[in-house]
Amino acid sequence: MAGPRPLWNGARAVLATMHGKERAIAPLAKRFLALDLRVAEGLDTDAFGTFSREVERVGNPRKAARAKIAGAFALMPQARVGLASEGSFGPHPSLPFCALGRELVLLVDRQTGLEVAGHHAAIDTNFAHQVVTHTDAGQAFAAKAGFPAHGVIVMGVLDGQPAPHLALFKEAASEADLAAVLARTIALTSAAHIETDMRAHRNPRRMRAIRRAMVDLVRRSRSQCPTCARPGFAITGRVSGLPCKWCAGPTHLTRAAIWGCEGCGHREERAVAATAADPAHCEACNP
């Protein structure tokens, strides 16, 4: 991660989390950004949205992360820098039956107004859910998800849909605990909705993804715009059309990356290292 020296020489920073994300974020913030990072003790980040549906997230992940950081600044007004992360999970847009996890880690420097965001997206997630009518089916789902190392959430069911207002259990820590909450929920609503717990402290895979997003934030913070020198100059898009090695016609493969600055708006198109595509990717040569 070589690059310019960090902007923050021991500056106080606050992390908006109540789910142990400092384990993934704090070591990198200290080593590579020279931040003196503290957790915003007493901040209820569930107020900004929960995976278990009691509180709906307002706005996109970046807006939610900004709101968390604002709450953290209110609790630690002496902090110059605020950090927060936000995750999103759902079906992969192009791979059937595959889930996609996206992580954002946002840094806000309220002295300069700088915002830098790190990102990570991968199919390495255990995001899944199932409606069960028997405890053994629920326990089988949990075992596949990696329980108890990976947590699960159990909630009631109404008209085939999850109903956390009827029943909601988040803290099952053993097979006996899980069997008890499954039985209780099924007795109450005739079925139970069980899903992987996506809170960071209950999901080691997500904690690793947050760390990777933080690594990306560090890289972006050390990449300066060639026009205004603002940190965060990074890839914002890609251009397809890498020419086929045989016929020179365009393929769907990337021929260039678009780099951009959120500050001054400067954009650059940078060619990828490859100069030609394998004909296997050409619709003309390999229809």
85, 17: one domain: yes
147, 175: one domain: yes
Q: Which domain holds residue 111?
A: 11-125+202-222
Residue 2 forms part of a structural domain = no
Question: Which residues, including other chains, have CB under 8 Å from residue 14's CB and lie 6 or more apart?
Answer: 37, 38, 39, 40, 69, 72, 73, 75, 76, 79, 81, 82, 83
46, 146: one domain: no
pLDDT band at 6 (very low <50, low <70, confident <90, very high): low
Residue 4 forms part of a structural domain = no
How many domains does the chain contain in total? Answer: 3
Residue 3 forms part of a structural domain = no
Say whether pLDDT at 168 is over 90. yes
Q: What are the tens digits of pLDDT across the range 31-74?
A: 999 999 999 999 999 999 999 999 998 899 999 999 999 999 99
133, 251: one domain: no
148, 171: one domain: yes
183, 244: one domain: no
Say whether pLDDT at 3 is over 90. no
- The CATH number given to whatever domain includes residue 93 is 3.90.950.10
209, 148: one domain: no
**What is this structure's pTM?**
0.90
108, 212: one domain: yes
102, 192: one domain: no
